Chains A and B, each alone.
Chain A
Amino acid sequence: MTNSITDLAGSKCIFIIGSNAAESHPIIMGEIYKAMDAGGVVIVVDPRRTAVAENAHIHLAIEPGTDIPLLAGMMRHIMDEGLYNAEFIEERVEGFEEFRKFVEGWTVEEASRQCGIEPSMIRRVAEIYAKADESAVVYCMGITQHVCGSDNVIALCDLTMLCGHVGTEHSGLYPLRGQNNVQGACDMGALPNVYPAYQPVADPDIRAKFEEAWGRPLSDKPGLTVVEMVRSAGSKIRGLFIMAENPALSEPDVNHVVESLRKFDFLVVQDIFMSETARFADLVLPGSSFAEKDGTFTNTERRFQLVRKAVDPPGSAKDDFSILCLLGNALGLNFNYESPADVMSEINRLAPPYGGITYDRLERQGLQWPCPNEEHPGTRFLHQGRFTRGKGLFVVPNHVAPKELPDEDYPWYLSTGRMFAHYHTGTLTRRAKQLDREVSRPYGEINSEDAAKLGVGEGGAIRVTSRRGSIVVDAKITDRVRKGSIFIPFHFAEARANILTNPALDPRSKTPEYKVCAVRVEKGES
């Protein structure tokens, strides 16, 4: 996130697109409520009438996968009315002229035709966003999990720069990261193309620095992503080491994933439960939960926060840090760290933006990177005065319609996502008594009129079939889902939503298109 969570409370306009914050990030929703109390206007763009939409001022229920047309329409109106921040663009952004040509290619009416929102509403929302003195854009998986996911984000950046709503205290872009340390994992370089702190693998002097530090030659060729590695099981990739992940449930088109997992010559899974993925492993190593280890998580606002060990792991399980040290030493690397704090000091040296992050400084409130040295107080919001690359750059987002749209055989839209009571693959939360009591069975939300047509009552069984597989879930009849679309949470192993999902990837980010695919829904046998 460019700014901090508590900054949201001061924003005069919050533009939430593709994020069900009330269910996925309830505490951040609390800040949005504070903004509403302070007079901020909240606009929600989501095909579903989520709890956020229910509490917002304006809810735009767009057609699934048509975010760029809406944003283009808004930007066109902002340009026509001259509401854009010319002085900000002049001083701090490049490529405006070429971007203007792209925007002029769009009209509000065309945008409205594609995304299903009346032109007047597009104009009104654009004005509110542009005119407010500090506007924030909040987005989540609803934006990124499309074939044009990265283009959606680019369009949002363009909108933000167009109106100059970045680099101040209560403006900026708020990607709500889904997991407790997904930000940290990216920061620490668990990505095929970058070392820690996003230092590119291809850059020779960076590589030299790491080779010198780690005492081993390093490859300059970016590696494969998760989806590519799974697809090339038994061919390019023979040995796989999975730590605390459950691709057998979280990857799209999960039937193929399960077959691929069998094709590895040697698969090691390190986890705390026997997850669906661990069952296919040749070697299972018992890791430890957050309560049994010391270390740091980085949350969505770039804040390093301490995690302290409360109890010992069960049986002879070890904490993940020690397992990795054992494996490292077994491979001849020098992994003799006494404690995670040692590792942090090595990170301080090798990753400049995290130079000043030490354990005793994290004690009180954690630190937000970039924090280059021990005196630096951490950065509350980014891009103040200048962008990291100097001047910002307008990039033209090219809109790609969802790969698999409804047709005669599969007339329904399917969207998968999170619900408030469970977390991701459910390995942790479905074992909690209170959460299992809240929701314990897989369900699909369908519109009341569709349910009537199907002759299905509340809780009745419905069979949902896509080109890749079929599952049976309970029907949850509600008017918050549009007619002809169904929403299924993916937390339930016994009816894996990801059996249905389409493995089409965004070319850049390789993120699968979880939010849109075509399915058929019939009355199932209970």
Chain B
Amino acid sequence: MKTQQAMIDQAKSLLKKLLEDGEATAVFGLARGMGGVTAPRIFTMPDELDSLVLEPKWPLAKPAMEILRTAPGGYRLAVVCRGCDERALVELIKRNQVDADALVMVGVACSGEQASICLCDRPYPSKLDIGEAAHGVDPFDDPGVKYLLEGDTHTRMGRWERVLKRCVKCYGCRNSCPICVCDPCKLEGEPWVRRGIIPTEILSFHLIRAFHLADTCVACGACQEACPAGIPLVTLQHAMRRALREGFEYEAGLDVNEKTPVLFDFIQAPEKDRPIPDWINTLRD
């Protein structure tokens, strides 16, 4: 594995080149500031890049989108992207929230250990510029995920209730999710979710939020990391991502032109291999 420092130097040189020959107006990445504390930063001059770092994990997709949204015309932002950042930005490009040619993605691979923390099955971007791709982790091997997604429905419901009941309604999950761009958002009021009570209505708040990301969630874990109550929100998404993979052979964020099955290629005639459940035999399967 390349050492951390080697990766940082490689990133610095690559990004400096982008700035110098005008490929990008600014670079958005992580910087080590005063007192050795890292925070996201926008680098406009090549020498500012000396403070660039790649660790720890800091989801940059959403702030990058918001910067691009308020940027003047012709502004091109180079973003240091981990696998999940790139996939999130791909989904945002698909949803016309980010202008594809105002964005230059510089891919950075995650370490194997980071992959096991995030339970990420693809800890590297498709366009990998820095570092080598570590092999991913299947989220369904994790005991925590198994605990919440297996077993008979009744005990599983009890477990989810006990976990989701801890919600303090800080909206951190929605605020940090790169895909959530709506203002106002359905979670904020009637008739979707009852306002002003803690803990939130689990069945409406959490399920509506989870379902809105059904076919767009890239499992970057930003929601789970932003949740003060430590609720395993990504596990909810794993259930649906598995359904998408098995039912519709689709995974979010891999390719800008790949269409999500929920919105495209509807058919009139019954599909060859999957008979359409008519009224009765639906109950048998």
* Chain A residues within CB distance 8 Å of chain B: 22-23, 26-27, 29-30, 33-34, 37, 50-51, 54-55, 360, 363-364, 419-421, 434, 437-439, 443, 476, 478
Q: Report B184-204 residues with CB < 8 Å from chain A CB.
A: 184, 188-189, 195-199
Check: B117 CB closer than 8 A to any chain A CB.
no
Across the interface, do A419 and B196 meet the contact criterion of CB distance under 8 Å?
yes
5 tightest Cβ-Cβ pairs between the two chains A and B? A363-B35, A30-B228, A26-B168, A364-B35, A439-B196
Q: Which residue of B lies closest to A28 (CB)?
A: B228
B18 at the interface (CB under 8 A from A): no
| 24 A-B pairs whose Cβ atoms sit less than 8 Å apart in the complex | A22-B199, A23-B168, A26-B170, A26-B228, A26-B229, A27-B228, A29-B166, A29-B229, A30-B229, A37-B230, A51-B168, A55-B165, A360-B35, A363-B34, A364-B37, A420-B168, A421-B196, A434-B188, A437-B184, A437-B195, A438-B188, A438-B196, A439-B195, A478-B197
Say whether B36 faces chain A, with CB atoms less than 8 Å apart.
yes
Instruction: Please indicate the chain A residues that have their CB under 8 angstroms from the CB of B188 in the complex.
Output: 434, 437-438
Is B169 part of the contact surface with A, judged by Cβ < 8 Å?
Answer: yes
Q: How far is the CB of A10 from chain B (nearest CB, A)?
A: 15
A497 → B minimal CB distance (Å): 16
Q: Measured between alpha carbons, how far is A304 from B197 in the docked complex, in Å?
A: 33
- Residues in A with CB closer than 8 Å to B169 are 420, 438
Summarize B's interface: helix, strand, loop or mixed: loop
* A29 and B195 form a contact (CB under 8 A): no
Contacts of B165 in A (CB 8 A): 54-55
A421 to B36, CA, bound (A): 34
Interface residues of B, Cβ cutoff 8 Å to A: 34-37, 165-166, 168-171, 184, 188-189, 195-199, 228-230
Flag if B199 contacts A55 (CB, 8 Å): yes
Question: Are B37 and A23 in contact (CB-based, < 8 A)?
Answer: no
Cα A438 to Cα B169 in complex, Å, equals 10
Q: Kindly list chain A residues whose C-beta atoms are within 8 Å of the C-beta of B35.
A: 360, 363-364
Contact with B171, one of A34, A54, A434 (Cβ below 8 angstroms) = A434
Give the chain B neighbours of A55 by CB distance below 8 A: 165-166, 199
With A and B bound together, what is the CA distance between A508 and B184 in angstroms? 48
Q: Which of chain A's residues have a CB closer than 8 A to the CB of B229? A: 26, 29-30, 33
Report Cα–Cα, A55/B36, bound state, in Å.
38
| B199 / chain A contacts, CB cutoff of 8 Å | 22, 51, 54-55
Contacts of A421 in B (CB 8 A): 196
Bound: A434/B171 CA distance, A: 10
Q: Which residue of A lies closest to B228 (CB)?
A: A30
Residues on B with C-beta less than 8 A from A23 are 168, 198
Residue numbers in A under 8 Å from B171 (CB-CB): 434
Closest A residue to B167 by beta carbon equals A51
Residues of B with C-beta under 8 A to A437: 184, 188-189, 195
A443→B194 CA distance, assembly (Å): 15
**A289–B168 Cα gap in the complex (Å)?**
26
Instruction: Closest B residue to A26 by CB, please name it.
Output: B168
CB contacts (< 8 Å) of A438 on chain B: these are: 169, 188, 195-196
Question: How far apart sit A258 and B154, CA to CA, in the bound complex (Å)?
Answer: 57
A22-B169 Cα distance, complex, nearest whole Å: 9
A478 contact set on B, CB distance < 8 A:
197
B171 and chain A: residue at smallest CB distance: A434
- Report the bound CA distance from A403 to B189 in whole Å: 40
Chain A nearest CB: distance from B220 CB in Å? 21
**Complex Cα distance A478/B197, Å?**
10
